[in-house]
Structure 1
Amino acid sequence: MKDKVWLITGCSTGFGRELAQLVLKQGYKAGVASRNTDDVKDIVADYPDTAIVLKLDVTKPDEVTSAVKTIKDKFGTIDVLVNNAGIGYFGAIEESEDDEVRRMFEINFWGLAAMTKAVLPIMRAQHSGHILNVASIGGLVGFPAVGFYNATKFAVDGYSESLSKETAHLGIKVTVIAPSGFRTDWAGRSANNSKIVIDDYKQSAGANKDAIRGYSGKQPGDPQKAAEAIVKAVESENPPLRLLLGKAALKGARNKLEQLKNDFDTWEETTTGADFPEGQ
């Protein structure tokens, strides 16, 4: 039996479900978390000694505290935290409804941060651990129709980079998972549309929203292979800070690097000219 204890949020569907199934099959211990525990009971049915179902809405502080305590009481520690719980939302920025956007931030960012803060004391005490935050290629590259979703994932990326620099000397590793299109429920039932539609955005945000919705269930990404990649990163001695998943993610990230380089090089003189002269 492998000795690491995993805590995985958002296990009812998608990456979380595939990952929970895989780590248990491979002999790890795991806390399998979901807002509705009935959705994940089948995952743990064959693993009474190595799995535990956790009722967890990451936006509820009492459930966060309870989930962490429950798994620690059962298995003695937490070695790997996978912050996978999240939702999507489609709408141009001007179309987006404040209550929907704030709800998404509460789940995608603040819930992730709450889980991380709850687990960090355990990892600090043992001077080891690995925190994996599921973001998106949309945490590196912005797209029309998902501007506020992008904002939540850009926040996760920046938060994770800072966290990695704070915890490296404590033996705690951090990895941001940045997938492109995978056959999960993200573009289906896990993402709401704005009820506001402004015709002026039809050719930008509207077109991309329709394309993403129409692609749901046909994405090239295989969630099972994504789970295997995440386990590989955890088992690596030197896991990446950012793990891209999918060819489209790699292409998008490389295009972004080229765009950044072009802007930096083109505006280098203006950029460096904003400092005081040397010696002053």
Structure 2
Amino acid sequence: MNKNVLITGTSTGVGLESAILFAKNNYKVYATMRNLEKGEALRKKIEEENLNIELLPLDVTNIGSIQSAVNTVIEKDGRIDVLVNNAGAGFAKTIEQSTEEEIRWVTDVNYHGVVFCTQAVLPFMRKQKSGQIISITSVGGLVGQPFNELYCGAKFAVEGFMESLATYVSDAFNIKISCVEPGGIATEFMTSAVEKTAVDGKLASGEYLPIFERYMAGNQQRANESKEQVYQTGLEVAGIALEVAQNENPPLRVRTSKWAEDFCMLKTQADPDGTKLVNEIKNSFL
């Protein structure tokens, strides 16, 4: 029996590539996105290659939308084997200059969406005594960076959420928990994050301006000098997510490139994949 997978945020980038790649590897894919009108690229691939992919509406900031999508999968298949929490959004602005609406939006899209999607699938995975939850996080979930405190804070929260789940649901209910941690990705996600930063005049003003200018210049320099090393394609990251899904004993954490590994080295060198810490917590608390 082929496994099914529910993937969030599949209109572009890593989500789009993941939907296609999982389908090509004999998964039944439920590809979700907030606005199905943005699914044209995926529909074209489905038709061209006869892929086993069904598009569903799912807005990760709306609990009712999440539950409706999950219920649809259960009604059709009676189970959910894999959840890939991919939906997310980049954001770079100082906390001082961010509005309440922006703060809530960044947190909802990047953290609360992961929590509520996971909450929705867990009862079914627990009942079937199997399942896998993979969250596409970021090196920003391990290392804080300038002008990214809101984004990094949300991704740090996802990492803590997933790590906590891994300490007890894996052994008790055979539900595997993993974080896939990319560095830079050359997709619309990156373009959107840059646009949200550069277009907003409030960010590049006042006492933050010289710091911001150095930050942007450094980003550009790194991109020019080592684009191939820093920026991965969505397909490359999707490939790592597929490897994790196919792993019988997947790690809690996996960086998706050498650059990402090196960038997080000071945080991860004692326990690169998170396994030691999870086992230590299990031994201490359970």
Same fold (TM over 0.5): yes
Note closer, same or farther for the CA distance 1:201–1:113 as it changes in structure 2 (3 Å cut): same
Q: Aligned residues: percent identity?
A: 35
Q: Name the CA distance, whole Å, in 2 between partners of 1:104 and 1:44.
A: 31
Q: CA deviation at 1:211?
A: 4.6
Task: Give the alignment partner of residue 202 of structure 1, picking from 202, 209, 227.
Answer: 209
Q: CA deviation at 1:51?
A: 2.1
TM-score by length of 1: 0.84
Q: CA deviation at 1:179?
A: 0.5
Give yes or no for the alignment of 1:69 onto 2:71: yes
Gaps of 5+ in 2: 271-286
Q: CA deviation at 1:48?
A: 6.9
Contact 2:83 2:132 in 1 (8 A): yes
Gaps of 5+ in 1: 260-280
Note closer, same or farther for the CA distance 1:130–1:7 as it changes in structure 2 (3 Å cut): same
TM-score by length of 2: 0.83
Mapping of residues 173-252 of structure 1, within 5 Å:
173-189=176-192, 192-193=196-197, 194-197=200-203, 198-209=205-216, 211-212=218-219, 215=223, 218=227, 219-252=230-263
Contact 1:11 1:20 in 2 (8 A): yes
Q: CA deviation at 1:46?
A: 5.4
Give yes or no for the alignment of 1:32 onto 2:38: no
Residue identity matched to 1:237: E
Query: What does the per-residue CA deviation read over 1:96-149, in whole Å, with 9 as the maximum and x for residues that have no partner?
Result: 222112111011111111100000011001111110111100000000011110
Contact 1:145 1:206 in 2 (8 A): no
Residue identity matched to 1:196: K
Contact 1:138 1:154 in 2 (8 A): yes
Note closer, same or farther for the CA distance 1:89–1:69 as it changes in structure 2 (3 Å cut): same
| Aligned position for 1:98 | 100
| Aligned position for 1:253 | 264
Note closer, same or farther for the CA distance 1:225–1:147 as it changes in structure 2 (3 Å cut): same
Contact 1:96 1:196 in 2 (8 A): no
SS of alignment partner, residue 167 of structure 2? helix
Q: Name the CA distance, whole Å, in 1 between partners of 2:79 and 2:169.
A: 18
Q: Name the CA distance, whole Å, in 1 between partners of 2:240 and 2:133.
A: 15
Contact 2:45 2:51 in 1 (8 A): no
**Larger deviation: 185-194 or 81-90?**
185-194
| Aligned position for 2:282 | none
**Larger deviation: 191-200 or 8-17?**
191-200
Contact 1:52 1:71 in 2 (8 A): no
| Aligned position for 1:267 | none
Q: Name the CA distance, whole Å, in 2 between partners of 1:202 and 1:256.
A: 29
Contact 1:56 1:67 in 2 (8 A): yes
| Aligned position for 2:14 | 15
Q: How many residue pairs align between the two structures?
A: 257
Query: What does the per-residue CA deviation read over 1:207-265, in whole Å, with 9 as the maximum and x for residues that have no partner?
Result: 3245547849x553122122111111111111110111122210111133579xxxxxx
Q: CA deviation at 1:186?
A: 1.8
Q: CA deviation at 1:62?
A: 1.5
Note closer, same or farther for the CA distance 1:235–1:206 as it changes in structure 2 (3 Å cut): same
Contact 1:82 1:132 in 2 (8 A): yes
Contact 1:138 1:153 in 2 (8 A): yes
Note closer, same or farther for the CA distance 1:95–1:80 as it changes in structure 2 (3 Å cut): same
Note closer, same or farther for the CA distance 1:37–1:211 as it changes in structure 2 (3 Å cut): farther
SS of alignment partner, residue 187 of structure 1? helix
Task: Give RMSD over aligned pairs.
Answer: 2.3
Residue identity matched to 1:231: L
Task: Point out the structure with max Rg over C-alpha.
Answer: 1
Q: Name the CA distance, whole Å, in 1 between partners of 2:182 and 2:26.
A: 25
Note closer, same or farther for the CA distance 1:257–1:204 as it changes in structure 2 (3 Å cut): farther
